Amino acid sequence: MTPRQIIGKIGLWLSVLVIVSPAILFFLWMLSLSLKFEVDNAAYPPVFFPDHIAWKNYADVLASNRFLTYFINSLVVTGSATVLALMVGVPAGYGIARMAAHKSAIVILIARITPGLSYLIPLFLLFQWLGLLGTLVPQIIIHLVVTVPIVIWIMIGYFETTPMELEEAALIDGAGRWQVFRHVALPIAKPGIAVAFILAVIFSWNNFVFGIVLAGRETRTLPVAVYNMISFDQLSWGPLAAAALIVTFPVLLLTVLAQRQIVAGLTAGAVKGG
Amino acid sequence: MSALTQSTPAAASTEAAPEKELRPPSYWPFVVPALVVVLAIIIFPWVFTIWMSLNEWKVGSPTTFVGFSNYLRLTSDPRFLEAVGHTLVYTVLSVVLPLILGTLSAVVFHQNFAGRGFLRGVFIMPMMATPVAIALVWTMMFHPQLGVLNYLLSLVGIPAQLWVFHPATVIPSLVLVETWQWTPLVMLIVLGGLAAIPTEPYESAQIDGASFWQVFRFITLPLIMPFLFIAGMIRMIDAVKSFDIIFAITQGGPGSASETINIYLYSVAFTYYDLGYGSAIAVVFFLLIVLLAAVMLYARQRMLWTEIASGA
C-alpha cells in the first residue's frame, strides 16, 4: 500500500466512525441509563459505566403484572393486523401486478400522504357506535391502515419481477387462476412476502398515535404503555429507560438480523414514490 | 440490493398485456378483499371526514350542518395559523438537514469496507426503533441539569442549553431528533442512486485529474439528483405529519411553541372532542401536504428546464 492509500483508508474509517456513532452512542446511552440506579442516573457529570448494575430495573418492569397484559396486547394487535394484511394484500398485489393496473396504486399513495389522525376521527366515531371501544378490535382494524398499504405496495413490486412463463404453462395445462396463484406464484413470492411481513410488523409494533386515542387502560399496546409511564407512574429514569428498551428491543433485533430485507423493502417503496 | 429495487413496470406490463386480453376479468377476485378493506378503512374515513368538516360536530351534543363555517373559523384561529408556521419551519429544517447528512453518509457507505452490511444495519436502527421509546431517552438527554447533552456541550466549552424547555430552542431540538432518526432513510435512497451510476465518468475524471470535490459536485451530484428529489419528497411528507416525537417529548410545549398542525389537530379532536372543526383541520392539512408536494414538483421541473437551457 502506498502512503496515499493508507491515508485514504484511515480517512474512510474515520468517516464511518463519525456517521455511525450517533446511532451507536445513543443506544449505548439508553442501555447505560437502563442499567443504573437512581444515584448514578442523577449524578453530574454523568456516569457512563456504573459500579453497580441495576438489573432490578428490568426485573421491576417485567414483574409488574400490567406489563404482561400490554405485551400480549401488542402481540395480538400487531400479529392480527399483519396476518390480515397479508391475507388480503398478497392476492391484491398479485392481481394488480397481473392486470397491470398501476393507477390503482394512487390509492396507496393517497393513504401514504394522509395524516394518521384523519383516519382516527371517523373511525373513532364508528367504533363508538358499534360499541367496540374497550376491546382490541378497533386497534387491530385501524392498524390495517398501516399494514395493508405496505403489503400491497411491496407485493405489486415483487410480483412484477417474478417470471410469467411458469404461470402461463400452468394455465395452458388447465390449472385455474387460483391454483396458479396458490401453487406457482405464491411459492416464488416468498422472499417478497418476508419483506412485506417484516416491515408491516415493525411499523405496526411502533405505532403510537392510534393507541393513545383508542386504547383504554386494559387495551394499551406497549408504546402507549411506555408513554403513560412517563406521564403518570414513573419518574425515575432507570426503570423508564429499561421499559423503553424492552419495547423497542424486538424491532432493533429484527433490524440487525433482517437488514437486507428491510433495506430492499424500504428502497423499493421509496424509489417507486411511496 | 434484491430484485425488488430493480422491478421494471414497463417490462411487466408488456408481458401482462396479451394475457389481459385473453381473460380480462379473472384477476378481479384477487383484488376484491383488499378493495373492501381499503374502502372501509381508507375511502370511508376520507368521505366521512369531509362530511363532518361541514358540520358542527361535538361528542355528546347533536350535530348541525354549518356549511363552510369550520373552514372560515380556521382563517381567524391564531393558534392554527401559529401551528402552520411551526409546521413549515419544522418541515424545512427536517428535510434539508437529513438530505445533506444523508447524502454525505451515502457517499461513505458507497465505499467498500469490512463490516459494511452490519454497520448499515446499525446505521438504520434510529428510524426503525419505536419512536416513543427513543423520544423518552431524548427527553432525558435534553434535561437541563442532568442531561448528557449539556455535559457534552460543557466539554467543548459551550454553555448549558434549555433545549426543549425553552420556546426559542424547542423546534431546533426536536429537529435534531428528527434528523437523527431519518437521515438513514435519505442515506438508503441516495445509496441506491449511487449504485446505479456508471463508472465511466469517474474514470475519465480521474484521468483528467479532477479533485474529490469536483467529482462530487459535477458528476455525482447531478446523477443522484432524481434520488435526492424522491428522498426530499418522502422526507417532506413524513416531517409535515411528524407526531410521535413531538407529542412524546413536548406535547406542543412549552406553551404552544412546538405545536404543529398535527399536534393541534390532536388537541382539537381528542382533547376538546370538537370533531367537526378537527375534520376541517384534517382536510386543510391534507391539502397543504399536496400543495407542498406540488411546489416541490414544480421546482424540480424548473430546475430541469434551466439545466437544459444552460446546457444548450
- Residue (of B262, B239, B287) closest to B50 by Cα position: B287
- In tens digits, chain A (274 residues) has pLDDT values of 788 888 888 999 999 999 999 999 999 999 999 999 888 888 878 888 888 888 988 988 888 878 899 999 999 999 999 999 999 999 999 999 888 887 887 888 788 888 888 899 999 989 989 999 889 999 999 999 999 999 998 999 889 888 888 888 888 888 888 888 999 899 999 999 999 999 999 999 999 999 999 988 889 999 999 998 876 555 788 889 999 999 999 999 999 899 888 888 888 755 433 3
Inside any domain, residue B176:
yes
Question: What pLDDT sits at residue B4?
Answer: 43
> Amino acid letter at B126?
P
Whether residue B45 is found in the same domain as residue B93:
no
Q: Are B31 and A186 in contact (CB under 8 A)?
A: no
Question: What pLDDT sits at residue A267?
Answer: 80
Inside any domain, residue B280:
yes
Question: What ipTM did this prediction achieve?
Answer: 0.90
The C-alpha of A272 sits at a distance from chain B's nearest C-alpha, in angstroms, of 9
Q: β-pairing, B55-56 with B64-65?
A: antiparallel
Whether residue B30 is found in the same domain as residue B127:
no
Inside any domain, residue B161:
yes
Angstrom CA distances, A33 to A175, B147, B160, B176, B178, stand at 60, 11, 21, 20, 21
Rounded Cα distance between A45 and A42, Å, is 9
Among B1, B2, B4, which would you mutate to test the A interface (most chain A Cβ atoms within 10 Å of its Cβ)?
B4
- pLDDT tens digits for A107-135? 887 888 888 888 999 999 899 899 998 89
SS3 A233: helix
Whether residue B44 is found in the same domain as residue B117:
no
Residue A96: give its domain's CATH number. 1.10.3720.10
Range B197-205 contact pairs with CB under 8 angstroms and sequence separation of 24 or more: B197/B223, B197/B224
Provide the residue range defining the domain that includes B164. Answer: 71-311
Whether residue B130 is found in the same domain as residue B7:
no
Question: Which residue has cell 456516569?
Answer: A47
- In tens digits, chain B (312 residues) has pLDDT values of 344 444 444 444 444 444 444 554 478 889 999 999 999 988 899 999 999 999 988 877 788 898 899 999 999 999 999 999 999 999 999 999 999 999 999 999 998 888 888 899 999 999 999 999 999 999 999 998 888 999 999 999 898 889 999 999 999 999 999 999 999 999 999 998 998 888 888 888 888 888 888 888 888 888 899 899 989 999 999 999 999 999 999 999 899 999 999 999 999 999 999 999 999 999 999 999 999 999 998 888 888 887 777 654
Whether residue B48 is found in the same domain as residue B93:
no
SS3 B284: helix
Among B35, B97, B130, which would you mutate to test the A interface (most chain A Cβ atoms within 10 Å of its Cβ)?
B130
Residue B128: give its domain's CATH number. 1.10.3720.10
Inside any domain, residue B110:
yes
Inside any domain, residue B58:
no
Cell numbers found for residue A200: 408491516
Inside any domain, residue A3:
no
Whether residue B175 is found in the same domain as residue B286:
yes
Inside any domain, residue B61:
no
Inside any domain, residue A148:
yes
Provide the residue range defining the domain that includes A215. Answer: 55-271
Show residues of chain A in contact with B118, CB under 8 Å: 256, 259
Domain count, chain B: 2
Domain count, chain A: 1
pTM above 0.95, yes or no: no
Inside any domain, residue A49:
no
Cell numbers found for residue A99: 392486470
Whether residue B41 is found in the same domain as residue B139:
no
Inside any domain, residue A64:
yes
Cell numbers found for residue B211: 479533485
Inside any domain, residue B37:
yes
Inside any domain, residue B114:
yes
Whether residue B47 is found in the same domain as residue B84:
no
Show residues of chain B in contact with A94, CB under 8 Å: 27, 30
- Residue (of B281, B215, B244, B274) closest to B81 by Cα position: B281
